[in-house]
Amino acid sequence: MKLKTITPLSFLMGSALALVAISANAAELSRKPFGALASGEAVEAITLSNAHGVSATIITYGATLQSLIGPDRTGKKADIALGFADAATYEKNASYFGASVGRFANRIGKGRFTLDGKTYQLALNNNKVAALHGGVKGFDKVVWKVLDAKSGPTASVTFGYVSPDGEEGYPGTLTATATYALDEQDQLTITYGAATDKPTIVNITNHALFNVAGEGVSDGAMGNVLTIPADGYTPVDAELIPTGATTPVAGTVFDFRKPTAVGDRIRDARDPQIVVGRGYDHNYVLTGKSGGALRLGARLADPKSGRVLEILTDQPGIQFYAGNFIDGTTIGKSGKIYRQGDGIALEPQHFPDAPNKPQFAPVRLDPGQKYSNTMVFKLTVQK
């Protein structure tokens, strides 16, 4: 006769509590409609959230970061990403707020590049002098497909988009992915990937504009304290195209190696680069090796709330744009008018106009190769 094994009640209770603890610490994912485009195509919103009050909402239109919410030193939560409340408003505004931009982020001079002896002409959608962020209908203006979505210790969603050969003038069919993942360490990781069936160029990034004081606050983002660990930046010409040179930041208004409020020197017209860019709109050459381990690319802090946003990257550069061209005609998701200086973009990427500057890191992608760009947005609180 077999003796019946009796499991102690204390063990069962302990196991149940452990399961509750695991569940409480697991990041969650939810999905809901986000309106539709003028064509009637539906747009969906996916929200990733963790146990610490951090959440990120991404919409399928442009694989766009629509919201990033985090607490301040008192626990009060605020959205720190500029954006809109519905799909129709995103479609009407060519602002790139939070969008995945490609095939080639940033500017290509005269919209032209040569690959294997053939010259390709792209749309001149930036003041009729340059190609910008992938063209008239770049990755930011298409609805991406949700390939995978899951909760877990890390909640994540993966989007996919297939750009056909010749789209916006680029060669090759490009299969692109964008994965957003939120963990319990308050890190939102964005990973872009791509593969091609013929030689092409690729440079995909995220164009989020942040204000760690809170989106739409009356003081704007110029009080955000910025650190960029870079010894040099790439100066631009009158059309905002890099000249090909690298200029040391030491002794200039571009030196953010020590924490400095963004607005402190943004109007210093003694520096002609500030005049050309109407403020900061420049690529920084990050220290450390690119393509390997993640390293700090930038840090934004708000002294009042204590919110801190660190951006880790494996890319060679980071574009710092201080919202110079936001003109007060756009109304954001909280009903506030967005004005010049209300948001700060820090975009990990390859250098602008790299296809035409052999001294810059190459952006060519061949069949059989895999393109990748990983960035981490880490939220912390300064006491």
Give the Cα separation of 220 and 77 in Å (integer): 17
At 381 the pLDDT is 97
What is the length of the chain?
Answer: 383
Higher pLDDT, 149 or 8: 149
Residue 21 lies in a domain: no
Give one DSSP letter per residue of 324-348, joined into a string. Answer: TT--S-EE-TTSPEE-TTS-EEEEE
Catalytic annotation present for 133: no
Residue 199 sits in a domain whose CATH number is 2.70.98.10
- pTM tops 0.85, yes or no: yes
Residue 6 lies in a domain: no
120-135 mean pLDDT = 97
For residue 147 the two structure tokens come to 């390939």
Cis-peptide, bond into residue 103, ω within 30° of zero: yes
Residue 157 lies in a domain: yes
* Per-residue CA distances from 326 to 66, 150, 309, 340 (Å): 17, 36, 22, 5
24-42 mean pLDDT = 92
Give Dmax (Cα) for the chain: 95
- Give how many domains the chain has, as a whole number: 1
User: Which tens digits make up the pLDDT trace of 160-170?
Assistant: 999 999 999 99
Nearest alpha carbon to residue 83 among 210, 203, 233: 210
| Residues 216/257, Cβ–Cβ less than 8 Å | no
**Is the torsion defined by CA of 220, 221, 225, 231 positive or negative?**
negative
Nearest alpha carbon to residue 84 among 76, 72, 94: 94
User: Which tens digits make up the pLDDT trace of 198-216?
Assistant: 999 999 999 999 999 999 9
Residue 156 lies in a domain: yes
Give the Cα separation of 223 and 302 in Å (integer): 7
For residue 50 the two structure tokens come to 């963790």
Residue 298 lies in a domain: yes
At 100 the pLDDT is 98
At 232 the pLDDT is 98
65-80 mean pLDDT = 98
Give the Cα separation of 188 and 48 in Å (integer): 9
Check whether 21 has a pLDDT greater than 70: no
Give the Cα separation of 80 and 174 in Å (integer): 32
Q: Which residues pair with 308 in a beta bridge?
A: 301, 380
Lowest pLDDT segment from 19-28, 54-63, 140-149, 287-296: 19-28
Check whether 7 has a pLDDT greater than 50: no
SS3 state at 213: coil
SS3 state at 135: coil
Give the Cα separation of 116 and 145 in Å (integer): 32
Residue 20 lies in a domain: no
User: Which tens digits make up the pLDDT trace of 220-273?
Assistant: 999 999 999 999 999 999 999 999 999 999 999 999 999 999 999 999 999 999
343-353 mean pLDDT = 98
Instruction: Indicate the pLDDT class of residue 383, thresholds 50, 70 and 90.
Output: confident
CB count, 10 Å around CB of 327? Answer: 11
Give the Cα separation of 140 and 134 in Å (integer): 8
43-63 mean pLDDT = 98
Mean confidence (pLDDT) of the chain:
94
Residue 354 lies in a domain: yes
Residue 291 lies in a domain: yes
User: Which tens digits make up the pLDDT trace of 290-304?
Assistant: 888 999 999 999 999
Instruction: Indicate the pLDDT class of residue 1, thresholds 50, 70 and 90.
Output: very low
Give the Cα separation of 293 and 130 in Å (integer): 33
Domain extent for 122 = 28-381
Nearest alpha carbon to residue 263 among 331, 342, 205: 342
Q: What percent of the chain has pLDDT over 70?
A: 93
143-171 mean pLDDT = 98
Check whether 283 has a pLDDT greater than 60: yes
User: Which tens digits make up the pLDDT trace of 182-193?
Assistant: 999 999 999 999
At 26 the pLDDT is 77
* Catalytic entry in 133, 207, 282, 350: 207
